[in-house]
Amino acid sequence: MGNKIGAKGLTLSDANRYLRNAGGDELHAAIDAATEYLRQNGSTAGPDEIEIHHALFLLRRARGLGAPSFDAMRVELRGLLAA
């Protein structure tokens, strides 16, 4: 899929693709991006909160937005997992 997460971040087109595939939901897009990155690097584990936050940061940066709050993301993530 051409995921560019890593030292260089994400391209705008990759960020938009993740968001489109996640129906516009940033958190789901970040989870997908982090999961894909881990798989490309040989991991079968799911992403942890730090990896998801990093992906969310890169998604927002690629789109010219400010950095997300780690604490707010954790609250949203826990709510998603509880549902």
pLDDT in tens, 7-25: 567 899 999 999 999 999 9
CB 15 within 8 A of CB 30: no
The pLDDT of residue 5 is above 90 = no
Range of the domain at 59: 12-82
Indicate the length of the chain as a whole number: 83
Neighbours of 60 (CB within 10 A): 17
Cβ-proximal residues to 46 (8 Å cutoff; 6+ apart), any chain: 35, 38
Residue 25 counted as domain residue: yes
Report the number of distinct structural domains present in the chain: 1
How far, in Å, CA of 64 to CA of 1, rounded? 22
Residue 42 counted as domain residue: yes
How far, in Å, CA of 63 to CA of 77, rounded? 21
Identify the band that residue 82 occupies on the pLDDT scale cut at 50, 70 and 90: confident
Residue 6 counted as domain residue: no
Per-residue pLDDT, 3: 47
Identify the band that residue 6 occupies on the pLDDT scale cut at 50, 70 and 90: low
Identify the band that residue 73 occupies on the pLDDT scale cut at 50, 70 and 90: very high
Residue 5 counted as domain residue: no
